[in-house]
Structure 1
Amino acid sequence: MLQHDAESAVARYLTAADRLLPGKITGFYVVGSAALGAWRPGRRDIDLIAVVDGGIGDREARRLRGHWRDRAEKSLSRRPPSKPLVPAHRVAVNRVLGPPRLHCTIATGQVITKESAAEYALDTFAARWHPLIRTALAHRTGEPEPGDSPEPGELPRMAGEFILELIADANRP
């Protein structure tokens, strides 16, 4: 049985997935810590697997890229996204490791953890992103932030720029 907060979040994700891929989702499964009753709000994300009917074509792929691009561009705005009691820089840091995880799957076919996505991103993307990636990894694992962590006010902009660069790179043949 899912925790109430997790159940609400899963319902929101499914609604978003149905909007992005109308009529394509045939299965939606909660896996990982949430499925095992170990999910912690604000500390862990919820891992989901969506099963799609007939695969994803160019149109659906464009829609998904647009979703991530919109999230990145909001981070670049004067009022980056925040959540009740969660400042914008924390929201931004929480979004940094998902896109490299997806990039790795696109590039290699492998499905990896967000911790592994940090290592992948450090190996794959320019050194200018490394402080952001290391900060996101420290936040995820509960370790102290590294000495080269960007200032909190810079994190939303940096996260947005990083995600846009990943989208552009994933679009290259």
Structure 2
Amino acid sequence: MLPNSAARAISHYLSMADRLLPGWIRGFYVVGSVALGAWRAGVSDIDFVAAVDGDLGERDVRRLALLHKAGNVPAVWQALVRARPAIPGTLNGVFVAASDLGEPVTQIRPVASHSGPSLERGRGFEVNPVVWKVLAEKGVTVRGPSPDELGLDPEPDKLREWNLQQLHGHFAAWAGKASSGRPPRKPLLPAHRVALSTVLSPPRLHHTIVTTEVISKEAAAQYALDTFEARWHPLIRLALARRLGLPAPVGADAYATGPRRLPGLVGEFVRDVIASADRHCQDM
């Protein structure tokens, strides 16, 4: 069952897709926070995997780029009305040839993907063991056969390795930049806001490495509180409060009022999560 506002956004997106690329999207599956039962209106994006009828010509690529803009007009409008720099409710996802869905996930070459403002042809980060596990076990079918009829191969034997690579690749690099004099930023978002939005992602990966299960960022907050040292608890609680749109909790006020030191602090936390994941893998 889709939340009402998510269902409306998806319906609009698919209606635009069917006008711009008639008959091309044969299957449409919602993953991410919706599938994990953690989607929140005005906070979460909508992640999808679309099964499509083959590759794209140059004219089709232009139409797909237009789809990402036209299909997300409601989310953009709401962000403008509320004067928010971020655009929650955006549909982001990957397009995969329907004939390729039965291949091992790491061998699938995506047709294209939408993420944020960009369209990438022949690439799609979402085609990975984590997303495919969520799709196979909890994916929400909007169009097409159910996920258990697709013959998916999430390659569970590669799940831990993939998560560990993400920690040592993207997040280790992020932590290094966060501790520098020029921490990562995004358009219209200052470095401390970007840092806070990063806090809960490494514990998610850590949880999957330890348990082989995939959880939401909100669930990762509780996991992090149960797993990591108490000195990190105010930071974790602040990151969760910001994600939920709540005031800074008691005990996290110092972090909330000290944005300059936040990126470096989050970088240190990320390195601690990575070290803990390494220790777990060594003990297995």
Separation (CA, whole Å) in 2 of partners of 1:101 and 1:109: 11
Separation (CA, whole Å) in 2 of partners of 1:62 and 1:111: 14
Structure 2 CA distance for partners of 1:69 and 1:15, relative to 1, 3 Å: farther
1:9 is aligned to 115
Which is richer in helix? 1
Separation (CA, whole Å) in 1 of partners of 2:247 and 2:200: 17
Counterpart of 1:166, as a letter, is V
Indicate if the aligned counterparts of 2:238 and 2:248 stay in contact, CA closer than 8 A: yes
Task: Give how far 1:90 is off.
Answer: 0.3
TM-score by length of 2: 0.45
2:199 is aligned to 96
1:68 to 162, 171, 178: 171
| Larger-Rg structure | 2
TM-score by length of 1: 0.71
Separation (CA, whole Å) in 1 of partners of 2:236 and 2:115: 25
What number of residue pairs does the alignment pair up? 152
Counterpart of 2:228, as a letter, is F
Higher RCO, 1 vs 2 (CA within 8 Å, ≥6 residues apart): 1
**Structure 1: gaps spanning 5 or more residues:** 19-23, 37-50
Separation (CA, whole Å) in 1 of partners of 2:207 and 2:196: 19
Q: Deviations over 1:103-153 (max 9, x none)?
A: 111111221111111111011100110111001000011111123221211
Counterpart of 2:267, as a letter, is G
Separation (CA, whole Å) in 2 of partners of 1:16 and 1:168: 28
1:56 is aligned to 158
1:107 is aligned to 210
Separation (CA, whole Å) in 1 of partners of 2:198 and 2:208: 17
Separation (CA, whole Å) in 2 of partners of 1:112 and 1:59: 17
Counterpart of 1:143, as a letter, is L
**Structure 2: gaps spanning 5 or more residues:** 1-12, 14-67, 73-89, 93-113, 143-152
After the TM superposition, which of the residue ranges 123-132 and 53-62 deviates more from structure 2?
53-62
Secondary structure in 1 matching 2:260: helix
5 Å-filtered alignment, 1:115-154, equals: 115-149=218-252, 150=255, 151-154=258-261
Counterpart of 1:91, as a letter, is V
Task: Give how far 1:58 is off.
Answer: 9.1
Q: Deviations over 1:14-67 (max 9, x none)?
A: 84739xxxxx859977989xx99xxxxxxxxxxxxxx76685399866642222
Indicate if the aligned counterparts of 2:203 and 2:221 stay in contact, CA closer than 8 A: yes
Counterpart of 2:248, as a letter, is E
Percent identity of paired positions between Structure 1 and Structure 2:
43
Secondary structure in 2 matching 1:77: coil
What RMSD over aligned residues (CA atoms) do the two structures have, in Å? 3.5
Q: Say yes or no: does 1:155 pair with 2:262.
A: yes
